[in-house]
């Protein structure tokens, strides 16, 4: 007795390949279209501002302060303390004597530290931070003298060989030092400051 032949069975040798192809196709399709597909294990590093640095309530301004601090080697906590006292973070603030912006820069100081528009927050913070860095170096890291110079001018500090006897300046220094919590700021390069003040990327 002869059994009928099934010509299509000659293709049986391709069955494993066909099954493997089908498996790959269904899994690849699932990976592409499945909304809960896990992301590859590659870690994305995102820069963060240390939690102990004050915030202004404006994320963009906080990053401006943080990056200015990195570039100039100044503790951002000191910059925040100065801005809090000077303007309360108000970029539109103008003092009776003409100081402007978040760091209340006088026109001559703005020009001296390359800020053509003190009402621009970025420009103002960068120039004010440069001035603070300059004063800290000039007074060997003495925060009180640097702040007195920021408020009354470095010439007045030189004249009185210390904090000038102006009630406004003395109150200004006392409040900011209390807020900042330190009377000495190390003179560091930007690279050293990133480590000392935890500003590394």
**H or E element at residue 64:** helix 59-72
Catalytic hit among 86, 126, 161, 192:
86
b vs e for 1-15, b when ≥16 Cβ sit within 10 Å of the residue's Cβ?
eeeeeeeeeeeeeee
Residue 95 in tokens:
């003092």
Q: Is 86 marked active-site? A: yes
Report DSSP letters for 106-147, one per residue.
-HHHHHHTT-S-TTSHHHHHHHHHHHHHHHHHHTTTBHHHHH
Q: Which residues are catalytically annotated?
A: 86
């Amino acid at each position: 007795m002869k059994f009928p032949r099934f010509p299509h069975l000659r293709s049986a040798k391709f069955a494993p390949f066909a099954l493997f192809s089908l498996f790959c196709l269904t899994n690849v399709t699932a990976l592409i279209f499945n909304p809960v597909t896990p992301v590859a294990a590659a870690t994305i590093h995102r820069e963060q501002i240390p939690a102990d640095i004050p915030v202004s309530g404006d994320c963009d301004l906080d990053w401006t302060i943080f990056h200015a601090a990195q570039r100039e080697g100044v503790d951002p906590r000191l910059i925040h303390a100065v801005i809090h006292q000077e303007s309360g973070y108000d970029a539109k603030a103008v003092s009776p004597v003409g100081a402007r912006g978040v760091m209340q820069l006088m026109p001559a100081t703005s020009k001296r530290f390359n800020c053509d528009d003190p009402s621009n927050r970025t420009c103002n913070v960068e120039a004010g931070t440069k001035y603070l860095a300059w004063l800290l170096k000039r007074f060997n890291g003495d925060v009180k003298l640097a702040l007195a110079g920021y408020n009354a001018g470095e010439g007045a500090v030189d004249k009185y060989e210390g904090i000038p006897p102006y009630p406004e300046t003395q109150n200004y220094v006392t409040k900011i030092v209390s807020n900042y919590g330190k009377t000495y700021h190390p003179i560091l390069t930007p690279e050293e400051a990133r480590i000392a003040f935890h500003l590394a990327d």
